[in-house]
């Protein structure tokens, strides 16, 4: 699955009206952003994506389930598909589980992911995590197509080592929180830092048109990572 290097984190759409969200998403797609990350837990974010992109197959959408059982994952996905107005999602991810679920347990959340993929309800499966050890184990397990993990200019060497692990195992790496939850305010520097890693896809949390325009301008003319 080929995605735009600059991609869209849809969590902040919870705080934006439906009309504003649709206008924002439409502009992002027109500008070449084709990958959008959301979650069942992000209140009406999925519904707003559904309003903007109903019937569009040139849009790639990832969502997440925090389900703790196979059935909960499938139930969450059913709601997500209704909200997104789609027959399938491109990536279904487990949403930051407290521990990696066993692939050998037929009632585990992992079993829900595998069943969803087998039934054609998702093209790929992934996991998000805030714990490096779990992210590395997930990447090395051979079970997941993508890993989502916090990466930014404040990440230390240990966290950045996940990039090489994912590259070695041919796993897609999605960088959440590229501004470290708002701690980073120099957007060009934050953009340039992650841009040096060619196999990392940052999902920029975008809420306003001015934020989108700033990210698009950086994508059009990526700044160098200088002193």
At 57, is the pLDDT very low, low, confident or very high (cuts 50, 70, 90)?
Answer: confident
Q: What CA–CA distances, in Å, run from 29 to 21, 35, 55, 166?
A: 12, 9, 14, 27
Is 199's pLDDT higher than 90? yes
Other CB atoms within 10 A of residue 104 CB: 8
Token readout for 136 is 């590395």
At 227, is the pLDDT very low, low, confident or very high (cuts 50, 70, 90)?
Answer: confident
If DSSP states are collapsed to H, E and C, what string results for 150-173? ECCCCCCHHHHHHHHHHHHCCCEE
Mean residue pLDDT of the chain comes to 97
Is 185's pLDDT higher than 90? yes
Q: What is the pLDDT of residues 80-130, one digit of tens each?
A: 999 999 999 999 999 999 999 999 999 999 999 999 999 999 999 999 999
Query: Tokens 């849809």 map to which residue?
Result: 10
What is the average per-residue pLDDT within 168-182?
Answer: 96
- For 93, the enclosing helix (H) or strand (E) is strand 89-95
What is the average per-residue pLDDT within 123-139?
Answer: 98
Q: What is the pLDDT of residues 64-84, one digit of tens each?
A: 999 999 999 999 999 999 999
Backbone angles phi, psi at 94, to 5 degrees: -75, 135
What is the average per-residue pLDDT within 195-200?
Answer: 97
Burial call 106-116: b when 16+ CB within 10 Å, e when fewer: eebbbbbbbbb
Is 45's pLDDT higher than 90? yes
At 194, is the pLDDT very low, low, confident or very high (cuts 50, 70, 90)?
Answer: very high
Among 224, 170, 219, 226, residue whose Cα is nearest residue 28: 219
Query: Any idea what DSSP says for residue 177?
Result: -
């Amino acid at each position: 699955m080929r995605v735009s290097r600059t991609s869209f984190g849809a969590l902040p759409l919870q705080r934006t009206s439906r009309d504003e969200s649709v206008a924002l998403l439409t502009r992002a797609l027109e500008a070449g952003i084709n990958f959008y990350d959301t979650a069942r837990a992000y209140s009406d974010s999925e519904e707003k994506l559904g309003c903007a992109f109903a019937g569009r197959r040139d849009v790639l959408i990832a969502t997440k389930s925090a389900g703790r059982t196979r059935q909960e994952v499938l139930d969450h996905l059913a709601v997500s598909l209704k909200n997104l107005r789609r027959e399938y999602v491109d990536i279904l991810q487990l949403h930051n589980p407290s521990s990696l679920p066993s692939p050998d347990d037929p009632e585990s959340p992992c079993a829900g992911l595998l069943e969803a993929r087998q039934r054609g309800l998702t093209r790929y499966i992934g996991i998000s995590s805030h714990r490096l050890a779990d992210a590395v184990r997930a990447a090395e397990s051979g079970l997941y197509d993508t890993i989502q993990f916090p990466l930014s200019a404040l990440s230390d060497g240990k966290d950045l080592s996940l990039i090489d692990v994912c590259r070695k195992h041919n796993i897609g790496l999605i960088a959440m929180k590229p501004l470290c939850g708002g701690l980073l305010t120099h957007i060009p520097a934050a953009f340039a830092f992650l841009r040096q890693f060619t196999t990392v896809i940052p999902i920029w949390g975008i809420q306003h048109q001015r934020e989108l325009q700033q990210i698009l301008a950086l994508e059009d003319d990526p700044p160098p990572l200088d002193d």
